[in-house]
Structure 1
Amino acid sequence: MFRSHYCPCCLSSPFYDLCLNSTVNEKTTEVIKAAFQHAKYPDIEGEKSMSFIGKLKYGLLNLEIHNLSIGKSEFELRENVGIGIDISNVSAVFKGTIKYSYGSALFTVGHSIDFEIESKIDLVINSKLYCGKGKVAADTSDCCLTFHKLKLLLQGDREPGWIKRIFTDIITFTMRLVVKGQICKEINKVADILAEFIQETAEEFLSDGDIRVDIGVTSAPVITSNYIESYHKGLVTYNGSTSVVNASVFNPDQLSEDRSLHFWISDDTLNPLMTAAYDDGRFIRNISGEDLRFLFQKELSAARPELLNKWLSSEEPLLKTWSASVPHLWTTTQGTSVKAVAAVELSSAKQDTPPVLYFETEVEVVVRASYADKNLILNCTAKSLNAYLQEAVEKIGVAKVISYLEPELTALMNEQGLHLFDLINPEVTPQNGYVLIQMDFGFPHHLLVEFLRKTLD
């Protein structure tokens, strides 16, 4: 059943307790407002036979919405269906122009009047979540508007009472149909755009240069009264090639419900990422100048060879290091182990200078990751090595690599906007064959602003 799920994502009940009652509640209110304001209200024409004035022809033109406010919104997870959304006490003023004429074949009288309609509306949306085109999509066509107030105000209320009475009936009936149809249509459209926007934002976060992660969903999301769980491919693409995964060790029991958001990432996703980064030339580092001299100030158990002393005192010493093999990783409860062959070349920054020393050594490290104060932290231990150069790799080289990786990976994640999220007590827990990332979080306002900007443009 779970064979093709490599990156499950779970929003559990604390998310709804914490966020939907506050932050997401507020954000959804903004989206509903956008739907009301962005809806296109068509001009409406009609006619009605009146016994005392003849045939009445009318048109409702330039209908716009003003002074929109939303009183309260509530959410409910509905098992195997989706999310129920109740929006109550929506207050809005609709403004427009009435053009009308009445009379007979002998004479016709025509007028144009500006009007306002004060309204109070409740909105119920029974959204269904499903898998469409590789993405989690929302169907909000089950949408119902209830009007508790529709009060017509004609221009200054100076027109004859009979005109107001006639148009009160006509306009209120017409407005109920038009507003319901257009608002529900716009909400469904905005829901589609929002689902697309969230998926695209996640895909952008998991991409850099030519390296991307395909997070298309593999099946419809699982919905219970406590959580929503979606399953994603987690396939790495690089320069037109895509990783292949034959099986997944995922089981829903591996996720808990005590945190708001959970990500389950298997070694089958992490290993292709390492391979793509290797092929893209990202595991290469040159060290020189004061940075290099400071690096070799660390005391080691063995004496430093004279060859290294001469090299360090030479003009423009340069240390080049890179991974000479594709790194391989595997995760256990102790952490994520990474094994690779490290190549080190000692030379000079001057051109046409032969290397002083070149060697390769197999390095195996165990890494545990954490995230605090919007910074990635990597705790690393390496196997014990004996010879000076091998000990230098362990105690100097590995530590130096980590000192580069932490800020550069943090910067990469921040480029994708991670620092704009309020991540609360994030935990990275290594398990056998996968890593579980869980946290509480605050919905980022910048995402809503960007979404509304794109939607309303």
Structure 2
Amino acid sequence: MSWAGRMILGIFRVLLVLVHASAACDFGPFPYRATGIVCRMTKPAALLLNQETSQVIQAAFRNAKFPNITGERSVRLLGKVAYELTNIQVNGLSIEKSDVELKENNAIYIAIKNVTASFKGTLTYGYAGAWFLRLFHSVDFEIESSIDLQLDIKLMCQEEKLVADASDCYLTFHKLTLHLQGDKEPGWLKQLFTDFISFTLKLVLKREVCKEINSLAQMLANFVLDLAANFVRDKDIVVDLSLAADSLIRTGFVESHHKGLVLYKNYSSTLSDSVFSPLLLTESRMIYFWLSEHTFSSLASAAFLDGKLGLTIRGEKLQALFELEDTEAQRKAVQMIFQGTSYNDSVAKVWSLAHPQISLQPEGTVVESLVAVEVSILPAGGEPLVVLYMEKEITVTIQAAYAEKKLILQPLDSRIEFKVFKCPADPSGDDPSVRSFLQNMISVAGISEVTSSIASALTSLMNNKGLNLFDIINPEIITRQGYVIVQLDFDFPHHLLLDFLQKSL
């Protein structure tokens, strides 16, 4: 196929990709209404991440596959001179400076200054003179170069996935010097091949380095998306991070919008009334995460369906709950319930009977749940004997915080309403002391024990996903009506970069 034919075919393929991408990412006139999760990275975060751009660029240079360069030219007296550069490799590389700029509605602009790169390989050349003299030689060569690199990275959407496009890549050569082995070859030969090779070499370096950078950018975007998808997944519970709207690039931040729908086996959620607006977030912190009430409520429903909303309490923890008050009424109630049995021979089970209802308010996260509690004693050699069963509707407001790599859930005011109460020691339910004691115990200590257990389980889950490897600075969890904002600063996640480079290169 001719060069023109290949060019037309290439353009046609590009148009097909663009048409396919635009058709797959038609978000409609009101895209934010389907937005459940938002991530905003501000300029300070971009500057911090840019400090390690040099490692990615160096990886791009070293990982680029440079093809053999061949050429031929007619030279007076010598006839035709043919040459081939083979085994081209990066021999040394250093980067002086890297700058990043966020272009309004355009791209992430990265300027790499003074990339000093040394390439080595083998030069084979031959020429035929007018008297049929044929000479062929091979000599090792080294090329010293000084390059500036400019990248315009665009955030695009393909099949509702975020894609980084770094195809706008420009190399400016300030120096390109060819050294033949030991510089023992004649000066005219060195000058000859420098003139021949220089232009072609610049094109090859630009093509291969820019191709590798674009490939790395896409791989890095996929790596981050896979990392995020894994973080919000727990076995069969999955959060859909498909794009809900086009990404925003402003001079102060980059922002992506995701559906945030929860999928669990045959259960899935839908969202069409999100309250998100970019005006809800500021630019004073490095990273912002905006999460809708719908996403939180759907996660709670999926956790209920998966049987995760249950807790077993025994031994010292159970004893601490029932001995919260050292009063005559407490001792009488405990004696009646346990019938003199040791706490070590007893167990309490707590579980949710229905989907919890989640409401995000300025004062915190309001949780309404119908909960069952069953206390059993375990006689030696006998079957478990239920000594207390109750169902109660609990409404509690919880404030969340994250400190010392742990999630903290602090219950505030609560309201308890008994729906079912069964105690064999008080079958008629006429003794108000037992119910009064239990209501006080649940309000003062029981809810705290449950929220503490949930916080520990969530902390363990997040640490298993690698959150504890991040150096998170002054995180804040702020609830508002219908949504929550998590805002924080961070130090550079070196472990992520190393993990990416090891897996990708």
Q: What is the DSSP-based 3-state SS (H/G/I as helix, E as strand, rest coil) of the residue aligned with 1:207? A: coil
Give the distance between the partners of 2:162 and 2:203, measured in 1 at CA: 30
Report the Cα distance in structure 2 between the residues aligned to 1:314 and 1:15, rounded to whole angstroms. Answer: 52
2:165 maps to 1:135: no
1:374-400 CA distances to partner (integer Å, 9 max, x unpaired)? Answer: 111111124255722222222232111
Match of 1:412 in 2: 461
Alignment of 1:301-316 (within 5 A): 302-303=329-330, 304-305=332-333, 306-310=335-339, 312-313=341-342, 316=345
Query: Shift of the alpha carbon at 1:315?
Result: 6.6
User: Which deviates further from its counterpart, 147-156 or 124-133?
Assistant: 124-133
What's the CA shift for 1:228? 1.4
Confirm or deny: 8 A CA contact 1:323 1:343 kept in the other structure: yes
User: Per-residue CA shift, 1:21-74, capped at 9, x if unaligned?
Assistant: xx3122222111111111110012221122222221211100000211110011
Counterpart Cα distance in 1 of 2:246 and 2:290: 17
Corresponding residue of 1:8: 38
SS of the residue 2:359 aligns to: strand
Matched, 1:202 2:228: yes
- Structure 1 distance, partners of 2:221, 2:326, is 55
What does residue 38 of structure 1 align with?
A: 63
Out of 295-304 and 79-88, give the one that drifted further. 295-304
Q: By how many angstroms is 1:290 displaced?
A: 2.7
Query: Could you tell me how far apart the structure 2 residues matched to 1:349 and 1:167 are?
Result: 91
| TM superposition shift of 1:307 | 2.1
Name the CA distance, whole Å, in 2 between partners of 1:311 and 1:247: 55
1:333 to 338, 362, 372: 362
Q: Counterparts of 1:241 and 1:93 in 2: how far apart (Å)?
A: 57
Distance 2:293 2:338 in 1: 42
Deviation at 1:357, TM superposition (A): 1.7
Measure the CA separation in 1 of the matches of 2:147 and 2:284.
Answer: 37
Q: Determine helix, strand or coil for the equivalent of 1:352.
A: coil
2:472 aligned partner? 423
Deviates more, 1:336-345 or 1:374-383: 374-383
Could you give the per-residue CA deviations for residues 90-136 of structure 1, whole angstroms, max 9, x where no partner exists? 00100000111112583311111000001100011122222222222
Where 1:400 maps in the other structure, the secondary structure is helix
CA contact (8 A) 2:395 2:415 kept: no
Deviation per residue, 1:137-185 (Å, 9 max, x gap)? 2222111101111111111111122221111112222211100111111
1:209-224 pair list within 5 angstroms: 209-224=235-250
Give the structure 1 partner of residue 148 of structure 2: 122
Preserved CA contact (<8 Å) 2:303 2:309: yes
Name the counterpart of 2:126. Answer: 101
State yes or no: 1:250 paired with 2:281.
no
- Is the CA contact 2:338–2:387 (under 8 Å) kept in the aligned structure 1? no
Mark the CA change 1:349 to 1:27 in structure 2 (over 3 Å): closer, same or farther.
farther
Query: Which whole-Å CA distance do the structure 2 matches of 1:190 and 1:340 have between them?
Result: 47
Shift of 1:451: 1.0
> 2:50: which partner in 1?
25
* TM-score after normalising by structure 2: 0.86
Which sits farther off after the overlay, 386-395 or 112-121? Answer: 386-395
State the partner residue of 1:266. 292
Deviation at 1:274, TM superposition (A): 0.2
Which residue of 2 is the match for residue 189 of structure 1?
Answer: 215
Work out whether residues 122 and 138 of structure 2, in 8 Å CA contact, stay in contact via their aligned partners in 1.
Answer: yes
Aligned residue pair count: 451
Relative distance call for 1:126 and 1:384 in structure 2 (3 A) is closer
What is the identity percentage for the equivalent residue pairs of Structure 1 and Structure 2? Answer: 44
Q: Give unmatched runs, 5+ long, in structure 1.
A: none
1:440 aligns with 489
SS in structure 2 opposite 1:443? Answer: coil
CA contact (8 A) 2:318 2:343 kept: no
TM-score by length of 1: 0.94
**Over aligned residues, Cα RMSD in angstroms?**
1.8
